[in-house]
């Protein structure tokens, strides 16, 4: 686990090599072993200095997040007792009077880099693929092993804070330029360089432990620095909308800690860390954005079936979605047949993609070689015969059953009905679309999100007759396409489309009630949604929303009950206010890209004299989405809270600080959530009424994750 060797020069080498792990992580056992081994070296009179390195390809990837998850709901004193050992030892290590060198053979992140910062000298192998950083803020945490105190003392506050606030990962060369890496060497020179430095510096000490030390980059108590902090604090609050405590805690650690000796600063840091670790934001973020997403990407829960191999796929429809799927497929190394009604339309779509990729090349986001390779793999056509030999077909044509039925039948006549056939529909039932083939077991929903290259989620929808083997094959394809998959069952709107529509509808309901549109929009964003519900409606298209609801009414006949939003949608569509597409919807859109709420909204839906509190609006906007997700569980559309949380934060950007819809309900407490929804239903309508599934959880005193396997 932690290997130890002492050479003839009296230099001890402590080597991290955790068994059974692809990378080294700071598990509790590894921490304690590292402390014991290194402490023994520091106490050994024969040891002149210590090298800390790794036997694995990378140095140390960071904390063991399983350990941090075990702290959920634990008292602060217990957490402090378990987490203080490493922090205390690193301080002991840097003041022990013996030189300690970090020999970083590869990536060092989080706690791994914090160990290096506590060393007197840091040498890294000059590998272009190695990265270094303190990414804790992305998981709702802060660098808690001294990173928030040592990094700014080493490279200056203005250089250190952006790295911690953004969770940036930088190259070894950039780390050296910033000043937290002292030397870059070839791999074979790493340990010799470390030994040479130790022999040349027998009495090493940290800069902050020397008399008269002043952190680089300006006086922390000066007027200019105080103004800089105030501006940065305002930016952080605007960026996080006050929902993520970690960035503000990092700011506080640095602002308070750099004004006092480092030992006091470390105590300040530790206090903030413990509060974050105990908090719901960090716990839910770690669970959803680390564990659940990693499991999804690794296809955990995939039905047992032979692994599928893909080399060529067909995409039906060269619109925005089809071209987006073509791009990610080509980036994944697949040959792509992109079919549209005419060759000219397909070629025009590829030309538009080529221009888009050229802009990415100009910005340095992609390379000319990658652009050329992607375009070379995409073959525009209008000939269905070109689909022969495809292992999978993804249909992305207009949301019309007749059109889809036509292209499905024409495609299967060429490929054969045993091909994996996925429909990118976001609303139409997969089971009904599967009637167009004589192999409904090979038919599945593959719901991508726009813009496809930037939206990681793939909602895989299982129809009534879709086989396990087909689900497994679709999951394999998702991996090739670089998507994060969730699996749901067929049902109206599936999971994501069904839930996000409730946010939009509730915003319109609030408008009808006389709530100020500015209040609705601002609270929507402050609640953690990427945009207000009215802005979302304009983006989707009010005319599209109207058509979808009219079609739903035709499908359901007398059983259809118009939603609270229908009257508004119908009226605005009738006025020709379609949203962003024609520059007028809930907002008016100017040619320069600016927008302003349509003044006539106040005439159509007068603002009431008495307005609800922002908290009341926030509750309605978030609760209505969550209770709809609970209905999906009750109806069997979705069964795994991990997939529900992933789908909500990646699919429709549900308030990310909550960890997703199920985490949101669990954090509130299901019993309390049920009571609050009943109260909302009594006042505003049955759309808030909790389903029997949720009441059962509440009656049993359980949460979604209590029942998760």
Residues with a catalytic annotation lie at 63, 111, 114, 136
For the record, the structure tokens of 121 come out as: 């000298």
Count of C-beta atoms within a 10 Å radius of residue 418: 12
Any residues with CB less than 8 A from the CB of 534 and at least 6 apart, and which? 507, 508, 511, 517, 520, 521, 585, 586, 587, 597
Nearest to 246 by CA among 669, 647, 656, 650: 656
Q: What are phi and psi of 148, to 5 degrees?
A: -70, -15
As a whole number of angstroms, the distance between CA 660 and CA 664 comes to: 6
Q: Where are the beta strands (DSSP E) in 411-534?
A: 420-423, 443-447, 457-462, 484-489
As a whole number of angstroms, the distance between CA 429 and CA 459 comes to: 13
Nearest to 254 by CA among 171, 176, 154: 154
What is the 8-class DSSP label of residue 60?
Answer: B
| Residues 118 and 204 sit within 8 Å (Cβ to Cβ) | no
Q: What is the DSSP string of 247-282?
A: HHHHHHHHHHHTTS-HHHHHHHHHHHHHHHHHSHHH
Any residues with CB less than 8 A from the CB of 41 and at least 6 apart, and which? 4, 6, 12, 14, 47, 50
Q: How far, CA to CA in Å, does 512 sit from each of 506, 562, 567, 604?
A: 10, 15, 9, 9
Cα 307 to chain centroid distance, Å, stands at 27
| Residues 422 and 395 sit within 8 Å (Cβ to Cβ) | yes
Instruction: For tokens 């000796």, name the residue.
Output: 261
Nearest to 626 by CA among 519, 506, 537, 512: 506
What is the 8-class DSSP label of residue 170?
Answer: E
As a whole number of angstroms, the distance between CA 520 and CA 624 comes to: 14
| Residues 30 and 48 sit within 8 Å (Cβ to Cβ) | no
In three-state secondary structure terms, 578 is coil
What is the 8-class DSSP label of residue 57?
Answer: S
Q: What is the DSSP string of 332-364?
A: TT-EEEEE-SSHHHHHHHHHHHHHHHHHHHHTT
**CA angle (144 as vertex; 141, 145 as ends), nearest 5:** 150
Cis upstream peptide for 231 (omega within 30°): no
| Residues 74 and 33 sit within 8 Å (Cβ to Cβ) | no
Q: What is the DSSP string of 81-119?
A: HHHHHHHHHHHHHHTSSS-EEEEE-S-EETHHHHHHHTS
Instruction: For tokens 């840097």, name the residue.
Output: 94
| Residues 156 and 215 sit within 8 Å (Cβ to Cβ) | yes
Residues in the chain: 709
In three-state secondary structure terms, 505 is helix
Q: How far, CA to CA in Å, does 212 sit from each of 155, 207, 208, 209, 345?
A: 17, 9, 9, 9, 71
């Amino acid at each position: 686990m932690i290997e130890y060797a002492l050479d003839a020069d009296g230099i001890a080498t402590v080597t991290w090599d955790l068994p059974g792990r692809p990378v080294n992580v700071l598990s509790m056992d590894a921490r304690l072993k590292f402390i014991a081994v290194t402490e023994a070296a520091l106490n050994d009179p024969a040891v002149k200095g210590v090298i800390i390195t790794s036997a694995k390809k990378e140095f140390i990837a960071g904390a063991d997040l399983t350990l941090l998850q075990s702290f959920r709901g634990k008292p602060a004193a217990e957490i402090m007792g378990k987490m203080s050992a490493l922090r205390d030892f690193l301080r002991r290590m840097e003041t022990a009077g013996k030189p300690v060198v970090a020999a970083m053979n590869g990536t060092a992140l989080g706690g791994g880099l914090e160990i290096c910062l506590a060393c007197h000298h840091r040498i890294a192998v000059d590998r272009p693929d190695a990265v270094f950083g303190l990414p804790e803020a992305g998981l709702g945490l802060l660098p808690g092993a001294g990173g928030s105190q040592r990094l700014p003392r080493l490279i200056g506050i203005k250089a250190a804070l952006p790295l911690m606030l953004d969770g940036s990962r930088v190259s070894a060369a950039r780390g050296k330029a910033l000043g937290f890496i002292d030397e870059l060497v070839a791999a074979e020179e790493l340990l010799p360089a470390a030994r040479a430095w130790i022999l040349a510096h027998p009495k090493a000490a940290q800069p902050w432990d020397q008399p008269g030390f002043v952190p680089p980059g300006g006086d922390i108590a000066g007027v200019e620095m105080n103004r800089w902090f105030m501006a940065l604090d305002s930016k952080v609050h605007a960026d996080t909308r006050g929902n993520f405590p970690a960035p503000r805690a990092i700011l506080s650690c640095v602002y308070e800690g750099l004004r006092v000796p480092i030992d006091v600063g470390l105590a300040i840091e530790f206090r903030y860390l413990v509060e974050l670790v105990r908090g719901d934001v960090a716990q839910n973020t770690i669970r959803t954005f680390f564990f659940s997403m990693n499991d999804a990407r690794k296809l955990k829960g995939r039905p047992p079936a032979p692994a599928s191999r893909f080399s060529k796929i067909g995409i039906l429809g060269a619109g925005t979605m089809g071209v987006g799927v073509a791009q990610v497929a080509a980036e994944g190394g697949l040959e792509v047949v992109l079919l549209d009604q005419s060759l000219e339309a397909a070629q025009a779509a590829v030309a538009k993609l080529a221009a888009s990729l050229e802009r990415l090349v100009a910005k340095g986001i992609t390379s000319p070689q990658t652009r050329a390779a992607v375009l070379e793999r995409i073959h525009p056509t209008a000939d269905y015969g070109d689909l022969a030999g495809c292992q999978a077909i993804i249909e992305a044509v207009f949301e019309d059953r007749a059109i889809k039925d036509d292209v499905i039948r024409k495609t299967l006549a060429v490929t054969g009905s045993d091909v994996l056939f996925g429909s990118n529909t976001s609303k139409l039932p997969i089971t009904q679309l599967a009637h167009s083939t004589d192999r409904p077991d090979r038919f599945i929903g593959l719901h991508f999100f726009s813009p496809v290259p930037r939206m990681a989620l793939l909602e895989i929808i299982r129809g009534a007759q879709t086989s396990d083997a087909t689900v497994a094959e679709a999951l394999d394809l998702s991996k090739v396409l670089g998507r994060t998959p969730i699996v749901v069952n067929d049902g109206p709107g599936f999971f994501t489309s069904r839930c996000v529509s409730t946010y939009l509808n509730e915003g319109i309901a609030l408008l009808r009630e006389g709530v100020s549109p500015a209040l609705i929009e601002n609270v929507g964003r402050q609640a953690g949604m990427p945009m207000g519900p009215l802005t979302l409606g304009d983006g989707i298209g009010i005319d599209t929303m109207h058509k979808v609801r009219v079609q739903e009414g035709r499908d359901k006949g007398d059983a259809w009950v118009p939603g609270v939003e229908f009257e508004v949608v119908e009226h605005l569509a009738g006025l020709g206010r379609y949203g962003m597409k024609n520059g007028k919807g809930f907002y008016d859109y100017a040619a320069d890209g600016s927008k302003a709420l349509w003044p006539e909204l106040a005439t159509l839906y007068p603002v009431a004299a008495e307005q609800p509190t922002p908290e009341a609006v926030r509750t309605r906007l978030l609760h209505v989405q969550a209770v709809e997700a609970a209905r999906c569980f009750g109806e069997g559309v979705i069964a795994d809270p991990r997939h529900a949380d992933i789908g909500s934060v990646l699919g429709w950007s549900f308030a990310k600080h909550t960890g997703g819809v199920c985490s949101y309900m669990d954090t509130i407490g299901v019993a309390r959530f049920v009571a609050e929804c009943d109260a909302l239903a009594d006042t505003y309508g049955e759309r808030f009424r909790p389903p029997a599934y949720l009441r059962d959880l509440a009656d049993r005193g359980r949460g979604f994750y209590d029942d998760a396997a």
